[in-house]
Structure 1
Amino acid sequence: MQFKNKDFSDAREVLNVRNLRIGLTGRPNAKPVIDGIDLTIRAGETHCLVGESGSGKSVTSLAAMGLLPKSALEVQGGSITLDDFEITSASHSQMRQLRARRIAMIFQEPMTALNPVLRVGEQIMEVLNMHSDLSPSEAKKRTLDMMDQVHLPDVNRIFSAFPHQLSGGQRQRIMIAMALILDPDLLIADEPTTALDVTTQLQILKLIAEMQERHGTAVLFITHDMGVVAEIADTVTVMQQGQIVERAPIAELLTNPQKEYTRTLLTAVPNLTPRPARAAASQSEVVRVAGLDMTYGGGGFFRRSEGVRAAQDVSFTIQPGRTLGIVGESGSGKSTVARAIMRLIDPTAGSVNVAGTEIAQLSRRQLRDHRKHLQIVFQDPYRSLNPRWTVARSLCEGPINFGVPRAEAMRHAAELMELVDLPRDALDRYPHQFSGGQRQRIAIARAVAMKPDLLVADEAVSALDVSVQAQVLDLLDDIQERFGVAMLFITHDLRVAAQICDEVLVMQRGEVVEYGPAGEVLANPRHDYTRNLIEAAPGRHWDFANYRVLDSATMTTGATA
């Protein structure tokens, strides 16, 4: 693996942060959120800012953009200069002129950053209309040219599209086009690839690097994924609880980390080495899916169409205590299969047998009594947990609905809190009072409360820091070992699949292209699509736990380094 090895010592300083302190508004004596950090980014440099949630990464970027929420956070000391311009004392109108022209930002979720009722071409042109004197025809020509530069297909069609009509990767390309259309000196990218599948993520990372090379832009890239850092960084700054704990060139940081916190972050990064195969708790099958089809649309009163086949002839089995991972890009049909098995949607055809009952044809009323046998953990626990309910009510709702006395349900809820490493007194708190990882633990406890035969985890760790991700994966592993529950694990990250799955099923455009033991599929993939997914995994050439590059034999066979 070749690291970027450029010397930026003679390049001009674009962003200079000195002794920056950010605290709660109106509370100068409270512990600062950002505590005296220094940061320098030079022209053409990619500087990665890494750390767990709550470390202060995003707050630092918002301060550089002048976007701190005034009612909550304020700069209490230090300076932030862009070239020679002091940002901390700039007026609102000055910052308005600065943004887009000299400093721009790409946010994590483009669907919330883009206006849903404006066509995407108009939103890019809006930047030009506010900050340039171009005529409407010149602005449109410049916009189409930039859309072409970020490799969007059929730019005239996409120019007139609304955000919801584009894929996640296309929406992120629109955000990059908006950010770079005025050739800013500094681009801040705040977790821009976290929600994307690995192949789209790789495309976006290559695109940012290409645009940086073309325009000479300095890039501040914020991420929690050290695999991404290994691919793109020139320099890395590690943050913890508002302070900088380590800073070094990428090769030095990965081969010789100095701080324990940095070593912890590196060790938590999943790799593509499959877990040792586990024996099934029994030879029976908890789940048997045969010939599952799911077609959306397909006609109406005035016309007939074949519809969109989101899943085609999907078949697999899962035994007690084992995990089947379904992997693939966005739109491959992974979540469609999971939702059809859960009967959140009704499959068009096929058989779904869970715990000895054929559920594909059950009515909604018949299905109610069978729900306790299968439970699901969603990607975003904050949206799946009722914000107005205490944790106790969320954990007790299911058992009480199935006839468990309230006192017994409460006792079991307290035991579940200990199982997921949360204190019993947290039962009286609400979801917003927990971190993302803690909320996901609560969602897992809620699912386990029903003592299911099948647990479906739909991208359950994709939005978590790598260290929290590792903890949640260990928790799911422990629950399986204790209760012998079968698990269907949906993910776009083959590194995660390698850590938890016994079998892997690879899907592309609704079809199964490969299915077998995880060790065989990940170490010796037979299909080109599977090989492409593996090649796209960020940091796949790096052994993070041992601070070294994987040798070619290890990468080929999947053997433990």
Structure 2
Amino acid sequence: MLFKTRNFDAAPVALSAEALTVNLPDTPGVPQVLKGIDVTIRQGETVCLVGESGSGKSVTSLAVMGLLPEALKVAGGKILLQGQNLLPLSQAQMRELRAARVAMIFQEPMTALNPVLRVGDQIMEVMELHTRLSAAERRRRAIDIMEQVHLPDVPRIFRSYPHQLSGGQRQRIMIAMALVLEPVLLIADEPTTALDVTTQKQILLLIDELQQKHGTAVLFITHDMGVVAEIADTVCVMKHGEIVEHGPVEQILRHPKADYTRKLLASVPSLAPRDPRAETQDIVLRVSKLNKIYGGGGIFRKLPQAHAAKDVSFSLTRGRTLGIVGESGSGKSTVARCIMRLIDPTSGRIELDGTDIATLSRGGLKPHRKRLQVVFQDPMRSLNPRWTIAQSLIEGPLNYGTPRREAMAEAARLMGVVGLPEDSLRRYPHQFSGGQRQRIAIARAVMMRPDVLVADEAVSALDVSVQAQVLELLDQLQRDLGIAIVFITHDLRVAAQICDEVIVMQRGEVVEHGPAGEVLAHPAHPYTRALIEAAPGRDWDFQNFRSMSESQDAHPA
């Protein structure tokens, strides 16, 4: 793989964090959140901050923006933007500086954009607050920056609200807002994590293109080492508030010095598929000509129809995993929700052990519900924040007549299975990390002893090491319990590691279906090839670090 080899030694320094220390002053005995870190970014350079959740990446970015929560205090060091120390500035001075000289793109644009304002007005609002341009000039510059971020049909999108745009289009609007005033520094905090691979590639290329055009320094925060391979000039690896290693991207990815860096690289899933499980004749789920059509109604005029799923058919045997991959809007989650009967299919059959559940009433469906369980992408939204973990886990079994004592015993056993202590049952969701919450969500699904588990983007928001742990957990549970898994993902590396078969969907239709090894190694359809080519760092082999890491674990010094 060809890494970036640009030299920035002669470029002026855009940002310099020197011995930056952040504390939790009201929490005695808690370690420092940032422990005297040093980061330098030169004009036109992209520095990637990488590390697991809790490593201090986002705290670093928030400190630079002056947006630290009240509980966190900068206890020492400097943050120099073109030589100016930002730490002594007042909130009013920082507000003047934001967007004009330093701007930020967040992970989820839907929460960062105002849902009741048209996106064009939101871009113009940035200029209204920081410039004296006329309304006509603000509009002209807003349209110009929207064209620069390659948005289609700019006049229409200018008048649109955030909910009327796709995830990739909303992220492009955020980039336009961030760059419209040509800031010195752009901070991108996990801006592509929730995007499918083709949209992700477009956003990465866009940031690189605009960076070269405007000479912007970029601080890019990510846990995706494939993204690092694509975009970074320099990499800083963070762990527990410290930078454990830094250097040019090629040095970090080819010759890492720190054990922690090697373990991060070893956790990146490979595009090389695993050995498939043996297929049996025990078909537990069969989907035949499944269709889901939206629209077509309307009081005053007939609305156009949208085929979210069109004649989707497949079968799944016990103990195997079927992956459904594709871009956002391809119909993956629609198929998953139809299988779960969270939405009703327009037509087709969904047979669970020979029983068609596609048209069953709510009452008729209840006996089959426990045999179909789901794990969603965000466990924080699917776990009740007011309930203890024990209450969440035993709710399902109690609804189906399991005695409380027996349900509690099973919940305690499953805590051990998913690698959490038994006293976790007394705690609440907010007291766990994202990876731990996802383990709890898996335990809750397994409590029902299902025949089929639907995992809808269940690991896409997790950092690579936690992602690897959750994938291993699902694999072990499948081996132990014989569960059939429908795995929805936009990450082809993840699909390669867990799936026996793969379905590729585009615009509601299945365009390719076959063994994971055959589909991913020798794709027949142009769309599948495009997905594989868009995978970040696709031609970089991270697996040599996996063998190194396993060797070190087996033979510690």
Residue identity matched to 1:285: I
Pick one of 440, 443, 468 that aligns with 2:441: 443
Give the whole-Å Cα distance in 2 for the aligned partners of 1:547 and 1:518: 23
**CA deviation after TM superposition for structure 1 residue 319, in Å:** 0.3
Matches within 5 A, 1:136-215: 136-215=135-214
Give the whole-Å Cα distance in 2 for the aligned partners of 1:26 and 1:438: 26
| 5+ long unaligned stretches in structure 1 | 549-561
**CA deviation after TM superposition for structure 1 residue 487, in Å:** 0.5
Q: 1:416 to 1:56 in 2, by over 3 A?
A: same
Say if 2:263 and 2:545, in contact at 8 Å, map to a contact too: no
Q: State the partner residue of 1:552.
A: none
Offset from partner CA, 1:440-486 (integer Å, 9 cap, x none): 00000000010100000000000000100000000000000001010
Q: State the partner residue of 1:558.
A: none
Offset from partner CA, 1:127-160 (integer Å, 9 cap, x none): 1111111100011001100000000111111111
Q: State the partner residue of 2:50.
A: 50
Matches within 5 A, 1:465-544: 465-544=463-542
Give the whole-Å Cα distance in 1 for the aligned partners of 2:208 and 2:224: 17
Give the whole-Å Cα distance in 2 for the aligned partners of 1:29 and 1:475: 33
Offset from partner CA, 1:212-251 (integer Å, 9 cap, x none): 0000000000000000000010000000000010001001
Q: State the partner residue of 1:108.
A: 107
Q: 1:542 aligns to what SS in structure 2?
A: coil
Residue identity matched to 1:99: R
**CA deviation after TM superposition for structure 1 residue 288, in Å:** 0.5
Pick one of 376, 384, 387 that aligns with 2:385: 387
Give the whole-Å Cα distance in 1 for the aligned partners of 2:370 and 2:64: 50
Give the whole-Å Cα distance in 1 for the aligned partners of 2:236 and 2:266: 17
Q: State the partner residue of 2:40.
A: 40
Give the whole-Å Cα distance in 2 for the aligned partners of 1:321 and 1:215: 53
Pick one of 314, 319, 324 that aligns with 1:321: 319
Say if 2:262 and 2:545, in contact at 8 Å, map to a contact too: no
**CA deviation after TM superposition for structure 1 residue 303, in Å:** 3.1
Q: State the partner residue of 1:401.
A: 399
Give the whole-Å Cα distance in 2 for the aligned partners of 1:526 and 1:236: 36
Q: 1:97 to 1:40 in 2, by over 3 A?
A: same
Q: State the partner residue of 2:552.
A: none
Superposed CA RMSD in Å reads: 1.1
Q: Please say if 1:12 is aligned against 2:9.
A: no
Q: State the partner residue of 1:430.
A: 428
Q: State the partner residue of 1:31.
A: 31
Offset from partner CA, 1:19-61 (integer Å, 9 cap, x none): 1110114458642110110110000100000000000000000
TM-score, normalised via structure 2 length: 0.97
Give the whole-Å Cα distance in 1 for the aligned partners of 2:340 and 2:27: 49
Say if 1:28 and 1:76, in contact at 8 Å, map to a contact too: no
Q: 1:286 to 1:28 in 2, by over 3 A?
A: closer
Residue identity matched to 1:147: M
| 5+ long unaligned stretches in structure 2 | 547-557
Report how many residues are paired: 546
Q: Please say if 1:99 is aligned against 2:98.
A: yes
Give the whole-Å Cα distance in 2 for the aligned partners of 1:237 and 1:302: 58
Say if 2:512 and 2:524, in contact at 8 Å, map to a contact too: yes
Q: Please say if 1:235 is aligned against 2:234.
A: yes
Residue identity matched to 1:283: Q
Say if 1:254 and 1:547, in contact at 8 Å, map to a contact too: no
Q: 2:283 aligns to what SS in structure 1?
A: coil
Give the whole-Å Cα distance in 2 for the aligned partners of 1:40 and 1:398: 52
Say if 1:355 and 1:453, in contact at 8 Å, map to a contact too: no
Residue identity matched to 1:517: P
Offset from partner CA, 1:511-561 (integer Å, 9 cap, x none): 00000000110010000000000000011111113269xxxxxxxxxxxxx
**CA deviation after TM superposition for structure 1 residue 306, in Å:** 4.9
Give the whole-Å Cα distance in 1 for the aligned partners of 2:492 and 2:342: 26
Say if 1:355 and 1:373, in contact at 8 Å, map to a contact too: no
Percentage identity across aligned positions? 68
Q: 2:152 aligns to what SS in structure 1?
A: coil
Say if 1:256 and 1:547, in contact at 8 Å, map to a contact too: no
Matches within 5 A, 1:294-309: 294-309=292-307
Say if 2:320 and 2:484, in contact at 8 Å, map to a contact too: yes
**CA deviation after TM superposition for structure 1 residue 355, in Å:** 2.2
Q: 2:344 aligns to what SS in structure 1?
A: coil
TM-score, normalised via structure 1 length: 0.96
Q: State the partner residue of 1:66.
A: 66
Give the whole-Å Cα distance in 1 for the aligned partners of 2:374 and 2:406: 23
Residue identity matched to 2:305: G
**CA deviation after TM superposition for structure 1 residue 96, in Å:** 1.2
Give the whole-Å Cα distance in 1 for the aligned partners of 2:302 and 2:29: 68
Q: State the partner residue of 1:80.
A: 79
Say if 2:106 and 2:188, in contact at 8 Å, map to a contact too: yes
Residue identity matched to 2:33: V
Residue identity matched to 1:423: P
Residue identity matched to 2:346: T
Q: Please say if 1:374 is aligned against 2:372.
A: yes
Q: 1:108 to 1:412 in 2, by over 3 A?
A: same
**CA deviation after TM superposition for structure 1 residue 270, in Å:** 1.0
Residue identity matched to 1:210: E
Q: 1:286 aligns to what SS in structure 2?
A: strand
**CA deviation after TM superposition for structure 1 residue 94, in Å:** 1.3
Q: 1:495 aligns to what SS in structure 2?
A: helix
Give the whole-Å Cα distance in 2 for the aligned partners of 1:186 and 1:456: 42
Q: 1:54 aligns to what SS in structure 2?
A: coil
Q: State the partner residue of 1:350.
A: 348
Give the whole-Å Cα distance in 2 for the aligned partners of 1:174 and 1:10: 33
Give the whole-Å Cα distance in 2 for the aligned partners of 1:508 and 1:76: 51
